[in-house]
Amino acid sequence: MERRTLGSHGPEVSSIGLGCMGMSVAYGVPDDAESLRTLDLAADLGVTLLDTADAYGRGANEELLGSWLSRRSSRREGLVLATKFGLRHDAATGRVGDVDTSAEYVRPACQASLRRLGTDHIDLYYAHRRNPDVPIEETVGAMAALVEAGDVRFLGLSEVGPGTLRRAHAVHPISAVQLEYSLFTRDVVEGEMLEVCRELGIAVVAYSPLGRAMLTGSVTSRDDLAEGDNRRRWPRFAEENLGHNLTLVAAVRDVAAQSGCSPAQAALAWILAQGDGIVPIPGTKKRRYLAENVSAADIVLSAEQLDSLRRAVPNGSVSGTRYPEQALARLGH
């Protein structure tokens, strides 16, 4: 698979990574056996960037990756293991409550992730969100101490604004910023944020590049979402928005068919064509979807096809916000 470098200060990774969250939480019932087989296939196909977080299943996703790594220790070399800290769960509701990016919390959070992952270092360590009451300089300074100690190799941030990114990078080189980016969500990246990333040599790691599977065409109604699937709570999948959004997916499907690929492959190939400094991490726990996603790295769309995809989903045309209100409040500081 093609390789890309995570900015001017980061490691080389496969051009398409693997988001692991859905293996443990959010999208229906977990299937650890299939998830482990999917991770095996990812390694066989040359996927080197694996993305998780301590918040995914309250550590369960890190533990899953740790169990896989314990059986595949020979593959640790060359693997870029990324995880995140900062989201703490409310004991009463079980949902994410506070954002803790204080300097005091950074080291214990990292040590806990290292134990769950069963590894002696984390390749890319992100602050998952930012608490606006904590100076970013304080957070990144504590993260930089982890690099000095050898616990972490490279640093990243997730869902921050361009001003925050500049201030963080002045404290210690930031290799990657993780942002939602897809045909459905373009305003988060395109414009000032992408300009700042290119100026500073910071990669964009694009999560939810398939619009939480809506862009694959596999979701045709809310009945396709299992009970307990988080998407049932997310505005773009709400009854009043879903019908409109599915008409946009149909337009993407038409362009993909003309290009000789699936809608998911077209959506990923479109992201890859936006610049070498962008690496999508589509998530899946199933081998068949992984193979389909990874093959998008071999698809080269013409300028006309890329433009057709943009026109199929005009910027701002998607109905509904990308997160519920409470989660939106934690974004973009």
pLDDT tens digits, 182-217 = 999 999 999 999 999 999 999 999 999 999 999 999
Q: Does the structure show a pLDDT above 90 at 273? A: yes
pLDDT, the chain, mean? 95
> Could you give the CA distance from residue 204 to residue 198 in angstroms, rounded to a whole number?
9
Has residue 318 been placed in a domain? no
Q: Does the structure show a pLDDT above 70 at 294? A: yes
Has residue 137 been placed in a domain? yes
At 102, list the tokens.
Answer: 């204080």
> Could you give the CA distance from residue 236 to residue 253 in angstroms, rounded to a whole number?
18
Residue 92: pLDDT band with limits 50, 70, 90 = low
CB-CB contact of 132 with 138 (8 Å)? no
Q: Does the structure show a pLDDT above 90 at 96? A: no
According to DSSP, the β-strands at 12-14 and 3-5 are: antiparallel
CB-CB contact of 19 with 207 (8 Å)? yes
The tens digit of pLDDT for each residue in 25-45 reads: 999 899 999 999 999 999 999
Helix axes of 239-259 and 263-272: crossing angle, nearest 10 degrees: 80
Counted domains in the chain: 1
Q: Does the structure show a pLDDT above 80 at 90? A: no
> Could you give the CA distance from residue 189 to residue 306 in angstroms, rounded to a whole number?
17
Has residue 251 been placed in a domain? no
Q: What percent of the chain has pLDDT over 90?
A: 89
Has residue 230 been placed in a domain? no
Q: What is the pTM of this model?
A: 0.96
Q: Does the structure show a pLDDT above 80 at 14? A: yes
Has residue 197 been placed in a domain? yes
Residue 228: pLDDT band with limits 50, 70, 90 = confident
Amino acid 263: pLDDT: 98
Has residue 151 been placed in a domain? yes
Give me the catalytic one of 27, 56, 126, 181. Answer: 56
What is the average pLDDT across 219-225?
A: 95
Has residue 95 been placed in a domain? yes
> Could you give the CA distance from residue 124 to residue 189 in angstroms, rounded to a whole number?
20
Has residue 258 been placed in a domain? no
> First and final CA of the chain: distance in angstroms?
35
Residues, the chain:
333
- Cα angle 300, 258, 293; round to 5: 50
Domain housing 143:
3-213+274-300
Residues 160, 166, 171, 176, Cα dihedral to 10°: 60
Q: Does the structure show a pLDDT above 90 at 77? A: no
Greater pLDDT, 327 or 112 = 112
Q: What percent of the chain has pLDDT over 70?
A: 98
Residue 76: pLDDT band with limits 50, 70, 90 = confident
Amino acid 75: pLDDT: 72
Q: Does the structure show a pLDDT above 80 at 99? A: yes
Tell whether the torsion through CA atoms of 167, 111, 74 and 33 is positive or negative.
negative
HSE, CB side, 13 Å, CA atoms: give it for residue 73. 5
Amino acid 330: pLDDT: 84
The tens digit of pLDDT for each residue in 138-167 reads: 999 999 999 999 999 999 999 999 999 999
Helix axes of 136-149 and 103-117: crossing angle, nearest 10 degrees: 40
Q: Is 193 exposed, middle or buried (0-12, 13-18, 19+ CB in 10 A)?
A: buried
Of the listed ranges 41-45, 68-72, 205-209, 301-305, the least confidently predicted one is 68-72
The 3-state secondary structure of 190-233, one letter per residue: CCHHHHHHHHHCCEEEEECCCCCCHHHCCCCCHHHCCCCCHHHH
Query: Is 207 among the catalytic positions?
Result: no
Tell me the CATH number at 131: 3.20.20.100
What is the average pLDDT across 265-293?
A: 98
DSSP assignment of 109-176 equals HHHHHHHHHT-S-EEEEEE-S--TTS-HHHHHHHHHHHHHHTSEEEEEEES--HHHHHHHHHHS-EEE
